[in-house]
Chains A and B, each alone.
Chain A
Amino acid sequence: MKASDIIAVLPELVLLVAALAILMVEPFLKPRLQKDEGGAVCGELAPDRTAILAIALTGFAASVAVALFVSGDTRTVFSGMLALDYWSVFFKVLFGITGFITMLISSNYLESHKRHMGEFYALVIFAVIGLDLMAGARDFILFYVAFELMSISSYLLAAYFRYRTKSNESSVKYFLTGSFASAIMLYGISLVYGETGVTNYHGVAVAIANRGGSAAVLFSVVLIGIGLAFKVSAAPFHMWTPDVYQGAPTPVTAFFSTGPKTGAFAVFIAAFVMAFPGAAHNWGIFFIVLSVVTMVVGNLFGLVQTNIKRMLAYSSIAHAGYLLAGLGAMGWTADTYPAGMGVLVYLTAYTFMNLGAFGVLAYLKAQSPDKFDFSLKHFAGLARRSPWAAILLSLFLLSLTGIPGTAGFIGKFYVFGGIVKADLIWLAVLGVVLSAVSAYYYLRVVIYMFFKEPEEELTFKAPISGGMAAALALTAAATVLIGIIPSQLWDAVVRAFGSLTQ
């Protein structure tokens, strides 16, 4: 290790300092005094935690700034464990933005549920550190440690409302399936080490090329694939997704549906392209099978949901299916570029539109925490009660459908374009047909919001304000901008993917 290696992990160190600062500052916050009508002190309220939110937001902003500042270098550090290249910078920026928006969504929500505490922010930051290192890892040991850092923080985030049975249930399901999957993946990694004697991605590729592939390599590729498929909630490993997404606090769901998923896809591409290029055709077939099942299951089960949070869970399964189809196309042909870059564009677009959609749900829930339960009938007449929320949610749902002019269309365009270039026209056709099916369950919500009379009036406290407004404005702007002028994003994606495969 050289002292200059520290530069590669500076964005993570910034985040770590922010998380530790939050944990240090929190106990010293003074409780607010509750006063009665005469002005006399009659009790204590929880302290104002704006300072903690400010530290978290500053941490994420600084981490993104540092990541952009150190970009331009292409090398591996810590004896080949971690890469500093455009690929890792691309994902560090994406995860930093994901964390930033999650923080903005969370503050109002947690305040309205009276669970506004520092640990929440610290846990999200720890999860983002894990994600950053996952994307940058070039060694199975570091990848596994980073993966578990992300996973264990996620289990705790799902259980954050610990007095609520649904949150408990969501977290125990996530914990059991998640750690079962990671044990399977770890077994696969141990077999890779047994076959090659090294854990470095590049070293594994060299050793397999020298010795020739074997059944053990294929077996371990499948085991690692299954472990990660749990995290991206690919069918048939998706059973936990709807329950966890429904039971976890909404800002946490927004984070789960974007951060860990994007991270797992980053590892899918980095590890499989770099460590198992010889078995590419085989893992291509594995992903194609997985993607067909996932797209069908996600879209068909999405049709029958009446709870919008659950519907979005199935929608996120369907989106994982489109992304896996892109990975399948990468393995199927020798030219990984078109489909691989399509997947990166899609991941970026998906991050913004999904964070936005769950952000609107979090806003609605924060408005009436007791009555609103995300069922479709509560969305009836929303356009009159709270027009901005209805318009924004419609924008995000249209983008998830893939309507031209939104980010979702650009993502689907590049992924399906890459699949067609790989001569898998049937797969692209299946994907497009199933996205047409998905329009039914997305547009149904829009119709409810604009054209249905509400059965019962829900009380809404306040218009969108503060952090929530900023988060929704950011995601909506990104969704529209990527949809209209994707060239900036495309340049970043070309550089990122280029630095991985050179």
Chain B
Amino acid sequence: MSTVPGGIPIPVDWYLYLSAALFMVGAVGILTRRNLFIMLFSLELMMNAVNINLVGFSGFHQNMTGQNFVLFTMAIAAAEAAVGLAIATALFRNKKTLMVDLFDTMKG
């Protein structure tokens, strides 16, 4: 159970609600939006929702494993964003658009 400086405990389920809400915003964003940048933002939102979960649980269990995990997740999210932006750049040079539903040369 984490406490704020005033000593009021924050129940662990509050973290869960926040992270579930953020995760759903991200997931819905990926499934409905068609601009590659918005989809990348949504992806970051999903990863960071997980980070809130991990930090909340880390406080709840009184061990540091969750917070260690967050450091790895953040590094990986950064790497993923870098690769995503690189792919977006290469794509824009060829197609002059970032709307992913216009990439449909392969079908069947």
Contact = CB atoms under 8 A, between A and B. Distances in A.
Contacts of A190: 19, 50, 53-54, 57, 66, 69
A490 interface: no
Interface string B41-72: 00100110110011011001101011011001
Contacts, number: 121
Interface in A169-227: 169-173, 175-176, 179-180, 183-184, 186-187, 190-191, 193-194, 197-199
Contacts of A49: none
B108 A305 contact: yes
A260 B63 CA distance: 33
Contacts of B68: 141
A71 interface: no
Given A186-B47, A242-B106, A165 B53 contact: no
B65 A198 contact: yes
B-side interface size class:
35 or more
B30 interface: yes
A172 B103 contact: yes
Interface string B8-31: 000010001001000100110010
B53 A163 contact: no
Contacts of A152: 76, 79-80, 83
Interface residues of A, number: 43
A98 interface: no
B100 interface: yes
Contacts of A116: none
Contacts of B72: 141, 144-145
Given A183-B47, A193-B54, A175 B84 contact: yes
Interface stretch (A154-162, A291-299, A359-367, A438-446): A154-162
Contacts of A171: 87, 90
A187 B56 CA distance: 13
A247 interface: yes
Given A152-B83, A186-B47, A187-B49, A169 B105 contact: yes
A191 B49 CA distance: 12
A166 interface: yes
B9 to A, nearest CB: 17
B91 interface: yes
A310 interface: yes
Nearest to B75: A145
Contacts of B95: 165, 168
A307 interface: yes
A183 B73 CA distance: 10
Contact of A187 (B46, B86, B87, B108): B46
Contacts of B108: 242, 304-307, 310
B94 interface: yes
B50 A187 contact: yes
B69 A159 contact: no
B65 A180 contact: no
A183 B46 contact: yes
Interface string A364-403: 0000000000000000000000000000000000000000
A243 interface: yes
Contact of B94 (A156, A163, A180): A163
Contacts of A165: 94-95, 103, 105
Interface string A112-156: 000000000000000000000000000001001100100010011
B46 A175 contact: no
B106 A246 contact: yes
Given A141-B72, A183-B46, A194-B53, 8 more contacts: A148-B79, A156-B86, A164-B94, A168-B95, A176-B30, A180-B30, A187-B53, A198-B65
